[in-house]
Structure 1
Amino acid sequence: MKKITLLPQQKEFSIEEGQTILDAALEAGINYPNRCQVGACAMCLCKKLEGEIEYDLEPLLTDKEQQEGWVFACQATAKSDLVLLLE
């Protein structure tokens, strides 16, 4: 299991192998914004400050957005511990 730290709320939760960030947050009781859960509405968009993620299917993010650290939490899984910014 890996650990995710959500800033600025300073909330921490665990994520299992293959589980999406959004599913892990909701399972931990975190009120994480979401609507479609397929990467279309962008409500779950957050910024990765530390760590590595991966997607089964590449999200609709530009190369620049990905380089800036933007992540669709409903589609991303953790390859390492993560620090995410959700404002």
Structure 2
Amino acid sequence: MSKSFPVLLQPSGMRFDAPAGTSVLLAAQAAGIKLPSSCRNGTCRACMCLMLDGSVVYGIEWPGLSRDEKEDGWILPCVAQPASALEIQVPLAVPLEPAAPAPRPLTGARR
């Protein structure tokens, strides 16, 4: 069974669980939370946010963050995988909008 870690988003207070080996961005989406993102491969920095507590791992050395930024706690949720419980600052996190229902064809006689 895969281990998962709790993630707390600030300042919204939204929470979700992120499975080990899954990016924070994908885990948030699976929990119905939209985080800022664009390229999803660690280069555009649209998702960059500050990790207040916890630790993450990356599969490769991502070019989107400098050594100083990493040391200051900045992470790229699109490619960061949780290695512990996380608290991250994501001011633009919002609940995903529910999908609009598919239009139903009109049936029956019109009056």
TM-score (norm 2): 0.75
Match among 13, 27, 51 for residue 24 of structure 1: 27
Partners of 1:43 and 1:79 in 2: CA distance: 22
The one-character-per-residue Cα deviations of 1:14-71 (angstroms, maximum 9, x if unpaired) are 0112000000011111121111100121111111110011000112211110011010
* Alpha-carbon RMSD: 0.8
Partners of 2:66 and 2:45 in 1: CA distance: 13
State, as a whole percentage, how many aligned pairs show the same letter: 32
Could you say what secondary structure the match of 1:10 adopts? Answer: coil
- Paired letter, 2:68: K
Match among 5, 17, 20 for residue 2 of structure 1: 5
Partners of 1:31 and 1:78 in 2: CA distance: 17
Aligned length: 87
Match among 58, 82, 90 for residue 86 of structure 1: 90
TM-score (norm 1): 0.95
Match among 48, 51, 54 for residue 48 of structure 1: 51
Structure 1: which 4+ aligned runs deviate by more than 4 Å? Answer: none
- Structure with greater Cα Rg: 2
Match among 66, 69, 74 for residue 70 of structure 2: 66
